[in-house]
Homo-oligomer: A and B are copies of this chain.
Amino acid sequence: MLNSMGATARVRMTPDDRRRQLVGIGLRKFVERPVQELSLDEVAAEAGVSRGLLFHYFPTKRAFYLACVAAAGRRILRNTAPDPDLEPTEQIRAMVLRFVEQIDRRRGFYLSLVHGTGGGDLGVVEVYDGIRDQATTRVLDALGLDAGSRPVVHAWWAYVEDHALGWSAGPPGRRTTSLAELVDHCVAALDALLGLPGSAA
């Protein structure tokens, strides 16, 4: 890193800050391209640290990738958190909107989270399942539903995700459905699905 004097400086950070910085760089990189194509040397260089220091925090590329995936999961949950001041249905609407926006903005990375194309393993699946579980709990809480409705709400998120992935695959200019229409459809879908027999089995 070049400081304002043009000299190479190594910024002193606490271990936690350093870890956060490295994961932040990784997150940005993994959104741009697949994990296979990323070299840890690049990450170290961008952070202004040695490869040795990076390996001190993350002993393997896999460990670094998993830390980034876990951070991505936390970010998705943060970015889609419900606003308890809204009416229940509006909370759902806002969650769906933000979820679709998340996927649209980082589609490749999200797909690698779903399908393990960045090297699938149980750590990635755990992050993915954790997002779905948490999002399901949020909907149950917002609507005051009990655990009997969990399978329907959980599967409804799969429905929303599939729509979001399909919708975001098309170039923005050629989408036949607007984001608002997609969100409206998904909100109405939840209502319809919860009203069916077997929805609180």
Contacts and interface: CB of A to CB of B under 8 A. Distances in A.
Contact of A201 (B111, B121, B128, B177): B177
Nearest to A185: B198
Nearest to A181: B198
A47 interface: no
Nearest to A148: B176
Q: Which label, helix, strand, loop or mixed, suits the secondary structure of the A interface?
A: helix
A185 B199 CA distance: 8
A162 B154 contact: yes
A178 to B, nearest CB: 9
Interface string A149-170: 0011011111111110011000
Given A155-B162, A162-B154, A196-B188, A122 B116 contact: no
A115 to B, nearest CB: 5
A201 B189 contact: no
A173 interface: no
Interface string A110-154: 011011111111101100100000000000000000000001101
A136 to B, nearest CB: 10
A182 interface: yes
Interface of A: 111-112, 114-122, 124-125, 128, 151-152, 154-163, 166-167, 176-177, 181-182, 184-185, 188-189, 192-193, 195-199, 201
17 contacts: A111-B125, A114-B115, A115-B125, A116-B117, A116-B120, A117-B120, A117-B122, A151-B177, A155-B158, A155-B160, A155-B163, A159-B162, A182-B198, A184-B197, A184-B198, A188-B196, A192-B193
